[in-house]
Amino acid sequence: MVTTAGRIGWCAVTLLWVGLAAYGFGLWSAYEQRPGEIPDAADGTASFSGPTGVWRVLMFVHPHCPCSQASVLELRRLLHQLAGTAAVGSVQAVVFVVRPPDAPAGWEQGELLHDLSTDPEVSVALDSGGQEAKRWKAATSGHVIVLDPQGRLRFRGGITPGRGQQGSSLGSQRIMQMIQEASRSVGVDGSRAFERDGKKTSGEPMQVVVTAPVYGCPLWTPGSEGSGRGLAGDDPEEARGQASDRRHEPF
């Protein structure tokens, strides 16, 4: 027979368990919605790699971060959406798999890299030493850079709604809107017209770099599956290795 004291004890244990579960869920929810670092970038009007005539979407991923798969899936979704917009034209996508400078050869191998290597829609580049990530000031897995056909930086940030989450996000929406609006500004004769203060005008518009939160692991943390020292605190000029495309040079 359960005594009154026993009932009170069980109630206390139950309340404690519920409280701990709610606290743990709150911590996890906060973690999922905590964005990664987006370091300061160069002015959006600067030309990094020169004009190519196509929009370029670059993504930097940590090969062993559990959040990277969601970022890659959202990249594919974004490319499909852009492909369905006739006015957009060609979009080139490159995924850089970042390997820290002291990580051994082959450290980047795994399910994510294998999956990317079989994807015909993207080019895959091994960023040995993280040189390209430093060049573009990417610090978090899933960081996306968008360059317009003139080679100018137009977007930097993430395209997932949270850590490891899939679905519509502020980043994807902003990229779609930006590219579609820019594509509609091109006339049939190849000239460009832009709307300012409600009036159509020719010439180049003011270039604005659009941003959105990026959710993922720090790129410079090797992770439990690998070894090697991260890049935090390294001098960009001293990083070793060269970024090499597994299929063809992205630039």
Radius of gyration of the chain (CA): 22
Mean pLDDT, residues 69-93 taken together: 85
Average pLDDT over the chain reads 72
Distance CA 47, CA 55 (A): 13
The three-point CA angle 166-170-173 to 5° equals 95
- Give the start-to-end residue ranges of the domains of the chain: 1-32, 37-234+241-245
Q: Is 198 exposed, middle or buried (0-12, 13-18, 19+ CB in 10 A)?
A: exposed
Q: Are strands 91-99 and 123-128 parallel, antiparallel or unpaired?
A: parallel
Q: What is the CATH number of domain 37-234+241-245?
A: 3.40.30.10
**For 173-230, what is each residue's pLDDT tens digit?**
999 998 888 877 654 333 444 444 444 444 455 567 899 999 999 998 655 343 333 3
Neighbours of 19 (CB within 10 A): 10
